Amino acid sequence: MWAYTIRRLIYMVVVIWVISILAFIIIELPPGDYLTSYIAQLQSQGGAINEAQIAALKKQYGLGLPAYLRYFKWMQNMFRGNFGRSFKWNEPVLDLLAERLPLTVLISLFTMIFTYTAAIPIGIYSALRQYSIQDYVFTTVGFIGLAVPNFLLALLLMFFFFRYLGWSPGGLFSSQYQIAPWNFAKFADLLKHLPIPIIVIGTGATAGLIRVMRGCLLDELRKQYVITARAKGLKERTLLFKYPVRMALNPMISTIGWILPAIVSGETITAIVLNLPTTGVLLYGALMTQDTYLAGGVILFLTALTVIGTFISDILLVWIDPRIQYERSR
Amino acid sequence: MKKKGGAKIKKGEISAEEEFYVASQWQLMWRKFKKHKLAIDACIVLVILYLIAIFAGFFAPYDMLKRTLYRDCPPQRIHFFDEEGRFHLLPFVYKMERELDPVTWRPSFTEDKTKKYPIYFLIHGSKYKLWKLFETDIHLFGTKESEGPFLFGTDKMGRDLFSRTVYASRISLSIGLVGVAISFVLGSILGGISGYYGGAADMIIQRVIEIFISMPQIPLWMALASAVPPHWPVIKTYFAITVILSFLGWTGLARVVRGKLISLREEDFIMAAKIAGTTDGRIIVRHLLPSFLSYLMVNLTLSIPWMILGETALSFLGLGIRPPAVSWGTLLKDAQQVSVIALYPWLLIPGIFVIITVLSFNFLGDGLRDAADPYK
């Protein structure tokens, strides 16, 4: 158990390190460097900048050094809590992230809960009533859910709400709470705004999971032990939930590995369409204006958090059900 | 050969069961695939869509950039019966009158029932070059005296949305195929090395795949796509976007290849081939590849829609294909705000094509998956 946790932890650190290299490449990809943009920005604001300041900035970001040394410089700054500045927002990247990342985490978490609580019962129902009308309805909805891109679903929902309810479902807060400090009323307002983004982000993953759950349960139901149990006169309900459903849940658990990245991914694009104050919009704006340190920071944090989230769920699951560990290691 | 001539078995004499044992693997797959009605339908839909994309100039009444005088015109209704209820063999459209609301200044269109424009088929219209080779001016349909018919309406510059959707399908539909081709090469080489040789190479490749899978795709796609310089020509951008999409898309394929290779590696016929002194390359190409080709096809079919969705999402955000080139994503970009969709909901029509295409590929993939293992 501990060996597995530690092995998994080391692996996670390696993955995050690889991601940091990727984020650095993203920072370095656009033509020109950060400093030129920064100086241009300072000058456009009318501020004079002298040679000494430029030299100091150059030293801080390690410009003029070879790429690998710049990378180490960047990492070093990061460990000191300095993720660089966003020159569009004129704020440290870390402050911007601290403001928006919690909301991203919140939405992703809620979406994940929604996905599993919706998919498991529907999947079980579909499998038990295979080829019934309800099963066909769920299967069709599931297929369409997989085929409709997130942003299109968001657009359609916005259109219908606007047309028929006269209400535009964008953002996460009503206007009076946007800059208000956190209190209970603000939180209640947030909860009221959450369902639409959650549905938009979660539909695709839910559709996928329903199919997994249905397929696995159908496979289980065909097995001989189910027939034996029935022949012995076990009550249908007890039989179902005690054996085949539990067996069918096992493969569902391993889907967390791709559900979480899919949700974070969907959150990014949905946030842009629905104008949610999360990291998605931040990343989009940063990429559009070549705000490289901000873009790199968002990418690093989003991916690192996804990896950490997967890690936590993996560990929790192994604690709950030690058999998984052996399945994974095979 | 001798056996065939000597036995003289007529077709009717073979029972269904015998036919099953005589049939080749591919014949069995085809038989099983044919039973999957939905997959066959999906196949037909896809063939039609791709034909439209290939002959875009013929199916579109206008060039994708041609501006007409009708701006923000809703889809025109096609009529077969006129005012007096008479039937016309050639469908027709009424003239559209543009009016401005005196209060809100919003344009609205009404049908002028006195002027009818019949729709002719196979008419001579604007000139275009088919595949940049043959110059012609034949279009599937169009009107003679006036502009139109605007089947899907027009956009804010008065460009016919139907024509633009047809032209856009060229990029949207082909990017999936090209992307999958690149993923196929990457996936089968890396998955092949991983599965066939095993050991350290396998370890490294598997870890790399796990890292790729654990990352959220869209933020990474966005970041990579935004590094494509805006001044690049369309064709270069197109390939850059395709490479970015397949850069993260090869992993699933590599896993299938590896999994199949590992299970096949232990089979007796591979051992026999090895003892007979066959080279590695020949074993892979002659013996292993045919054994899992069907699984590869399934996986490839199912990854095409992901590529299409990826391109649509990127172009929708303005990070993928850039105007003046059109893809379904760039067309949807016009419909980004609620205020715009509320007034001009027909701008969402290209989205329907995305959904139909993705659904069809999913159904086709499902049918192929059932057929891939015909002995089950």
pLDDT of residue A114: 92
pLDDT of residue B4: 45
pLDDT of residue B13: 61
pLDDT in tens, A79-119: 887 777 777 777 888 888 888 888 888 899 899 999 999 99
Instruction: Say yes or no to pLDDT of B116 above 70.
Output: yes
Residue A152, min C-alpha distance to chain B (Å): 7
Distance (Å, rounded) from C-alpha B214 to C-alpha A303? 8
Write the single-letter amino acid at B276. A
Nearby residues of A160 by Cβ (< 8 Å), 6 or more positions away: none
**Residue B120 contacts residue B142 (beta carbons within 8 Å):** yes
Average pLDDT, chain B: 80
Q: Establish whether the linkage from the previous residue to B324 is cis, with ω within 30° of 0.
A: yes
Instruction: Say yes or no to pLDDT of B356 above 80.
Output: yes
| 3-class SS of residue B267 | coil
Instruction: Say yes or no to pLDDT of A326 above 60.
Output: no
* C-beta contacts of B143-148 below 8 A and 24+ residues apart: B143/B93, B143/B117, B143/B118, B143/B119, B144/B117, B144/B118, B144/B120, B145/B117, B146/B95, B146/B115, B146/B117, B147/B68, B147/B69, B147/B70, B148/B68, B148/B70, B148/B76, B148/B93, B148/B96, B148/B117
Distance (Å, rounded) from C-alpha B135 to C-alpha B131? 9
Write the single-letter amino acid at A154. A
Q: From the CA atom positions of chain A, what is the Rg in Å?
A: 24
Q: What residue has token string 């027939």?
A: A227
Write the single-letter amino acid at B185. V
pLDDT of residue B89: 74
Instruction: Say yes or no to pLDDT of A296 above 90.
Output: no
Instruction: Say yes or no to pLDDT of B45 above 50.
Output: yes
Q: Which residue of B has its CA nearest to A257?
A: B214
Write the single-letter amino acid at B71. R
pLDDT of residue A122: 92
Distance (Å, rounded) from C-alpha A276 to C-alpha A266? 13
CB contact under 8 A, B216 and A265: yes
CB contact under 8 A, B218 and A268: yes
pLDDT of residue B1: 40
pLDDT in tens, B282-329: 887 787 777 777 778 888 888 888 888 889 988 888 888 887 888 888
pLDDT of residue B71: 75
- Residue A30: list chain B partners with CB under 8 A: 226-227
CA dihedral (B41, B42, B45, B46) positive or negative: negative
Q: How many residues in total does chain A contain?
A: 330
ipTM: 0.80
**Residue A214 contacts residue A123 (beta carbons within 8 Å):** yes
Partnered with residue B134 across adjacent β-strands are B130
Of A151, A159, A299, the CB nearest to B313: A151
Distance (Å, rounded) from C-alpha B124 to C-alpha A116? 57
- Mean pLDDT, range B76-95, rounded to an integer: 75
Write the single-letter amino acid at B312. T
In Å, what is the CA distance from B14 to each residue of B9, B10, B25? 7, 7, 18
In Å, what is the CA distance from B337 to each residue of A64, B323, B340? 43, 18, 5
In this prediction, residue A323 has a pLDDT band, given cuts at 50, 70 and 90, of low
In Å, what is the CA distance from B353 to each residue of A48, A272, B155, B312? 54, 22, 17, 11
Nearby residues of A270 by Cβ (< 8 Å), 6 or more positions away: A150, A151, A154, A197, A200, A201, A276, A280
Closest residue by Cα to residue A217 from A129, A291, A311, A114: A129
Read off the pTM: 0.82
Of A159, A261, A302, the CB nearest to B342: A159
3-class secondary structure for B227-239?
CCCCCCCHHHHHH
pLDDT in tens, A33-81: 666 666 776 676 666 667 777 777 777 666 667 777 778 888 888 888 7
Q: Is B358 on the interface with A (CB under 8 A)?
A: yes
Write the single-letter amino acid at B33. F
CB contact under 8 A, B358 and A147: yes
Q: To 5 degrees, how large is the angle CA B296–CA A258–CA A324?
A: 95
Of A147, A150, A306, the CB nearest to B215: A306
pLDDT in tens, B214-235: 888 888 888 888 888 878 888 8
CA dihedral (A257, A259, A263, A269) positive or negative: positive
Percentage of chain A modeled with pLDDT above 70? 85
**Residue B218 contacts residue B319 (beta carbons within 8 Å):** no
Write the single-letter amino acid at B226. S
Distance (Å, rounded) from C-alpha A296 to C-alpha A301? 9
Q: Which residue has the higher pLDDT, B72 or B47?
A: B47
What structural domains and CATH numbers belong to chain A? 97-320 (1.10.3720.10)
Of A146, A168, A265, the CB nearest to B362: A146
Distance (Å, rounded) from C-alpha B288 to C-alpha B265? 8
pLDDT of residue B47: 93
**Residue A228 contacts residue A292 (beta carbons within 8 Å):** no
